[in-house]
Amino acid sequence: MKEGWRDVSAAIKACAEKPTEKSVHQVRTRCRRLEALISAVLSTRLNAARLHSTGEALVRPIKKIRRAAGPVRDLDIHLSLLETIAGEPPDEDAQKLKKTLERQRERASVVALKEMERHRPKVEGRGARFLDAFNDLPASEQELDTAALAKARFLETAAAFPVIRAENLHDFRKRSKQARYIAEINLRSAASVRLAKKLNRVQDAIGAWHDWDVMMEEAAEILGSRRTTLLRNIQANRNKAYRVALRIARQTQRQALRDAS
């Protein structure tokens, strides 16, 4: 628990000093990991009132910081994707799209940094109180069966989506991600490592589709609805990624439900 808290605090500090692509990504992932860890702890420590109150209070500012960093992270990804299809030298549409995304990224960074500065004192204070409450638990209650918790969380997710399709594929990914982060809490557990790898494969596939899908919307808005070569390339990548994501998500879901029956 203490390590997860330190990771978040260090990531926020580094990003506040310089919001690079790496530092923004670390804020997002480390906040998500700590949220998942807190959720796992609270789900198994139902009678620890102080732990619940301090944990729930800590999650609120962490979530706000993570969400503020989201648009910056998305734009970093879209700029990277653009590089893979822009060609050399990039045509006029690619240059226009790149400049627009870079301006949007700069504005989003300003907003994210303001949110971090605003909520950082709350994170520090509430984090210390939550750690105190956690450390007050008996040593035996500070241990988590991460494999069992992650498996149960993913099974809930698998059962919640009778049919996975484009409209709910991203939601399936977000909920699955919670199970993955719980599994990754304890990488000394072979069962946790196996489950984390399986869930990571699902999330990578769906994430690739979602990135192209959102980029397609942004590019169409910036470049207009005319059928340019760049837009056709983005659409082709989106469609290919969707087919892969849907296949992997459905396979993993079916296996989880089959194993539980």
Q: What is the pLDDT along the chain (261 residues), one digit of tens a residue?
A: 777 778 888 999 999 888 999 999 999 999 998 998 898 888 877 678 888 999 999 999 999 999 999 999 999 999 999 999 987 888 899 999 999 999 999 999 999 999 999 999 999 999 999 999 988 888 877 787 888 888 999 999 999 999 999 999 999 999 999 899 888 887 778 888 888 999 999 999 999 999 999 999 999 999 886 678 899 999 999 999 999 999 999 999 999 898 886
**Which 3 state secondary structure label does DSSP give 224?**
coil
By the 10 Å C-beta count (0-12 exposed, 13-18 middle, 19+ buried), 213 is classed as buried
Mark whether 156 and 248 lie in a shared domain.
yes
The secondary structure of residue 86, as a DSSP letter, is S
Mark whether 219 and 100 lie in a shared domain.
no
The last residue of one of the domains, among 78, 111, 143, is: 143
**pLDDT score of 41:** 85
Mark whether 161 and 136 lie in a shared domain.
no
Mark whether 78 and 168 lie in a shared domain.
no
Mark whether 67 and 150 lie in a shared domain.
no
Mark whether 106 and 7 lie in a shared domain.
yes
**pLDDT score of 250:** 95
Question: In which domain, by residue range, is 3 found?
Answer: 1-143
**pLDDT score of 79:** 96
Domain count, the chain: 2
Taken as a whole, the chain contains a residue count of: 261
The last residue of one of the domains, among 111, 143, 175, is: 143
Mark whether 21 and 98 lie in a shared domain.
yes
